[in-house]
Amino acid sequence: MSSSIANNSPSSVELLESLKTQLWDTALKQQLAALPQLVEAGPPGYHVMMDFLKEAQTSATVSIAAGRSLQWLYQIDDPDVQAFLATHFADGLLTLPADCGVDYSEIQTALMQQDFELADRLTLQKMCELAGANAAKRKWLYFTEVNIFPNLDLQTLDQLWLIYSEGKFGFSKQREIWLGVGKNWDKFWPRIAWKKDNIWTRYPGEFIWSLEAPIGHLPLTNQLRGVRVMDALMSHPAWAEKN
């Protein structure tokens, strides 16, 4: 495909326009399907994606397709692409709210680079920081600390995971599954692949640190597997406000 588009033949121009239309489509599945084809198309395809991202900057809502576009471009060894990213998206796609209790920029960087394991560790670290000095020192959370987390912080963390995972990961996705199984923990853990045949998945080697993971698999933040802490997270008022 890349050579045919590079030749700028009528058929290749038509194909590129078709992919551009597909990327601007409102159906997420079609948008995501267009991205690898645009990458394969080489520089003409890169420019379509860059135009898409520039338009995304002006939107009030950060889209999942834009997050995935940014991830694809970060993998491309092209000076023009890297200069574009450094100029327009050095800090990522999502403008982090100044009112958040802690700085989540490191998580955004890890997610942009698809380093999901690092992003997961940072998520727990930042949540402990949010809970206060004692939690940051012990490196795990009490459910009572989760209960008083500001809505904005949890919503921001959730949005970061959603937009950089094709909409597969995030606390709100886990909550959807939890509600879908009637808040039954025995059914919930296997659904997100934290448990199999009544045996806990071992951290970190048995977890899937990629987009190949099941929906809701991440973030893990390991210690959240305790029911009381996880229940506090799933029941937090941040999600009622979001809905």
Note the pLDDT tens digit of each residue in 92-109: 999 999 999 999 999 999
Q: What percent of the chain has pLDDT over 70?
A: 93
Asked whether the predicted pLDDT for residue 151 surpasses 50, the reply is yes
DSSP 21-71: HHHTSS-HHHHHHHHHHHHHT-HHHHHHHHHHHHHHHTSSS--HHHHHHHH
How many Cβ atoms are within 10 Å of 132's Cβ, its own excluded? 12
Per the CB < 8 A criterion, the answer to whether 114 and 218 are in contact is: no
* Residue 184 confidence (pLDDT): 97
Q: What percent of the chain has pLDDT over 90?
A: 85
Rounded distance between C-alpha atoms, residue 210 and residue 152, angstroms: 26
pLDDT, average across residues 156-175? 98
Q: Is the confidence at residue 49, as pLDDT, over 70?
A: yes
Kindly report the CA angle at 132 between 94 and 134, in degrees rounded to 5?
140
CA angle, 44 then 108 then 30, to 5°: 45
Task: Tell me the chain's radius of gyration from C-alpha atoms.
Answer: 20
Q: What is the pLDDT of residues 1-14, one digit of tens each?
A: 444 455 555 568 89
Q: Which residue has the tokens 């973030």?
A: 219
Residue-averaged pLDDT of the chain: 92
Cα–Cα–Cα angle for 226, 232, 233, rounded to 5 degrees: 90
Q: Measuring CA to CA, which residue among 82, 64, 63, 86 is closest to residue 73?
A: 82
pTM beyond 0.85: yes
**CA angle, 94 then 97 then 103, to 5°:** 90
- Report how far residue 55's alpha carbon sits from residue 121's, in angstroms, rounded to the nearest whole number: 32
Overall average pLDDT of the 17-27 stretch: 92
CATH numbers and ranges of domains, the chain: 2-88 (1.25.40.620), 105-242 (1.10.10.1770)
